[in-house]
Amino acid sequence: MSKEYTHIQSAHCENGVTTGLLRHHDVDFMTEPLAFGIGSGLFYIHIPFLKINNGPAIAFRNMPGAIFKRTCDALRIKVKKIKFRNEETAKEYLDNKISEGVPVGCQVGVFHLTYFPKEYRFHFNAHNLIIYGKKGDDYMISDPVMETVTSLPTYDLQRARFAKGPLAPKGHLYFPEKIGTISNEQLRSAIIKGIRRNVRDMLYIPGNIAGVKGIRYTSKKIRKWRDELGTQKAGLYLGQIVRMQEEIGTGGGGFRFLYAAFLQQAAKHLGDNRLLSISEEMTKAGDLWRASAMKMASIYKNKNNSQQDFDAIADILLEIYETEKRAFQNLGKLKLS
Amino acid sequence: MKKEELPQDESALKNFTREVCYVKNDAGEYETDLSKGWNVKKDALDNAWDDVRNRVEAARNAVSTGEKSPVYYFMELQLMDLPILAGYTGFWKMTIRRHMDPNVFNKLSEPKLMKYAKAFGVSMEELRNPK
């Protein structure tokens, strides 16, 4: 149990923690795209009326915590998840675990992560990292979005674990407790389950704000933003979309490239080349997201813009809606085994 | 995104890390590569920070004209909004809104002020008289 944890860098923090912890426990086939796909990580939602950092509430992936839980469940890995009321108990629990040589996943608020550049330290409470040791007062941290390991003094880590506000981590720790041998058969069925659930999430959630329909919803909104908000505020809103979509932790194109990579790996594991052409479609969706981001940037950079610029963005989003809808419909039609 | 299209623009990530991106190699297979940043994102982040500075400045003015209490200024300064500040103080959003009225703020008890001082990471003196 006491082998040294090997740092793994990933695009997305929760994938990275999942992959890192499972590989540490000798699940060697695990990769970031696999964790993302088995955990049905791809998503889209635009929650009306809610504001995050004074901008629109949009997400390109599923609820925090879902990827780790689903991936482990699908592979019949028993996990321990624990939250705390008391900060001191939370610290003792962590100290005990790492002294046993068990690396643990930990949910933290980015605002208190002193090793992050100031520019990135907003109040975002669903960042994940691995704590794998302690030297003196410093915890040894493997933050999956970073190239190398880092460390954090006890005081800062405590503040990050007990950050407050929406999605407050409450000291949340998690780690695999018992891992059996995972057969190829199990892996294949986990992949298929992940794909089916993702088809459901993208196509069949009722209402018009979640899944591919959410993209169409945003497209409609954007058309009105210039008149409703003025160019200044509309620019900020678009900037927020770009940051959710492209900022560190997404793998680019709002996680679409990551999902396309998953479909390629799934094609290999399932021996099913039909998944490759759907991967191509996801790549196209990712490329379109990047193209829309460039158009959005021209709005928040140049204050001289017209309604046509907003319409052009809304049109790309409609094209993305069509592309992703087609991709997931095709995915849903496949009889995978 | 093709491997050769991956942007390498200087950004706030400098001296911190490069980020993993998923790109296609010549054989059409996905692999990871490292990016220093992308101007499209950098501009979005810069724009967001300009907005933060404007909001903080507006809040500072609102406090000095007696329109708002320091709670409002420090909330903006600490990049918070009502739900976040409610989380850190334990007050309801409605209550915080009331505390943003200077008349109400000036009558707050020490323990209540302490909660704000702790949430904002400032002394009681600074909380009462922000610079």
What is the per-residue pLDDT across A216-260, written as a single tens digit (0 to 9) for each? 999 999 999 999 999 999 999 999 999 999 887 787 888 999 999
Looking at beta carbons, which residues of chain A come within 8 Å of B22? 11, 33, 251-252, 257-258, 260-261
* Per-residue pLDDT of chain A in tens (337 residues, 90 and over written 9): 468 899 999 999 999 999 999 999 999 999 999 999 999 999 999 999 888 888 899 999 988 889 999 999 999 999 999 999 999 999 999 999 999 999 999 999 999 999 999 999 999 999 999 999 999 999 999 999 999 999 999 999 999 999 999 999 999 999 999 898 999 999 999 999 999 999 999 999 999 999 999 999 999 999 999 999 999 999 999 999 999 998 877 878 889 999 999 999 999 999 999 999 999 999 999 999 999 999 999 999 887 789 999 999 999 999 999 999 999 999 999 999 8
Domain boundaries, chain A: 13-30+78-178, 184-333
Complex ipTM? 0.93
Looking at the DSSP bridge assignments, the partners of residue B34 are: B20
C-alpha distance from A291 to closest chain B C-alpha (Å): 10
Q: Delineate the domains of chain B, giving CATH numbers in brackets.
A: 3-37 (no CATH), 48-128 (1.10.260)
Q: What is the pLDDT of residues A25-62, one digit of tens each?
A: 999 999 999 999 999 999 999 999 888 888 899 999 98
Tell me which chain B residue has its CA closest to the CA of residue A292.
Answer: B40
pLDDT at A302: 83
CA dihedral A248→A250→A254→A255, nearest 10 degrees, is: 170
C-alpha distance from B64 to closest chain A C-alpha (Å): 23
- pTM given for the model: 0.94
Distance CA A15, CA A35 (A): 6
Q: How many CB pairs under 8 A join A and B?
A: 122
Buried b (16+ CB within 10 A) or exposed e, A133-154: bbeeeebbbbbbbbeebbbbee
Buried b (16+ CB within 10 A) or exposed e, B58-93: ebbebbeeeebbbbbbbbbbbbbbbbbbbbbbebee
CB contact under 8 A, A286 and B1: yes
Residue percentage of chain A with pLDDT more than 90: 90
Residue percentage of chain B with pLDDT more than 90: 97
Tokens of A38: 């088995």
Q: Which CATH number fits domain A13-30+78-178: 3.40.50.150, 2.120.10.30, 3.90.70.10, 3.30.43.10?
A: 3.90.70.10
User: Which residues, including other chains, have CB under 8 Å from residue A272's CB and lie 6 or more apart?
Assistant: A266, A334, A336
CA dihedral A174→A177→A178→A183, nearest 10 degrees, is: 20
Q: Which one of A164, A237, A289, A303 makes the best mutation probe of the B interface by having the most chain B beta carbons within 10 Å? A: A164
Looking at beta carbons, which residues of chain A come within 8 Å of B81? 51, 53-54
Is B30 an interface residue toward A (CB < 8 Å)? Answer: yes
Instruction: Specify whether the CB–CB gap between A125 and B83 falls below 8 A.
Output: no
Tell me which chain A residue has its CA closest to the CA of residue B55.
Answer: A54
Ranges of chain B with pLDDT below 50: none
What SS3 class is residue B84? helix
Instruction: Specify whether the CB–CB gap between B93 and B83 falls below 8 A.
Output: yes
Q: Tell me the three-class secondary structure of chain A, residue by residue.
A: CCCCCCCCCCCCHHHHHHHHHHHHCCCCCCCHHHHHHHCCCEEEEEEEEEEECCEEEEEEECCCCHHHHHHHHHCCCEEEEECCCCHHHHHHHHHHHHHCCCCEEEEECHHHCCCCCHHHCCCCCCEEEEEEEEECCEEEEECCCCCCCEEEEHHHHHHHHCCCCCCCCCCCEEEEEECCCCCHHHHHHHHHHHHHHHHHHHHCCCCCCECHHHHHHHHHHHHHHHHHHHHHHHHHHHHHHHHHHHCCCCCCCCCHHHHHHHHHHHHHHHCCCHHHHHHHHHHHHHHHHHHHHHHHHHHHHCCCCCHHHHHHHHHHHHHHHHHHHHHHHHHHHCCCC
Instruction: Specify whether the CB–CB gap between A310 and A222 falls below 8 A.
Output: yes
C-alpha distance from A34 to closest chain B C-alpha (Å): 13
Tell me which chain B residue has its CA closest to the CA of residue A263.
Answer: B30
Looking at beta carbons, which residues of chain A come within 8 Å of B15? 117
Q: Which one of B2, B15, B20, B46 makes the best mutation probe of the A interface by having the most chain A beta carbons within 10 Å? A: B20
Looking at beta carbons, which residues of chain B come within 8 Å of A148? 17
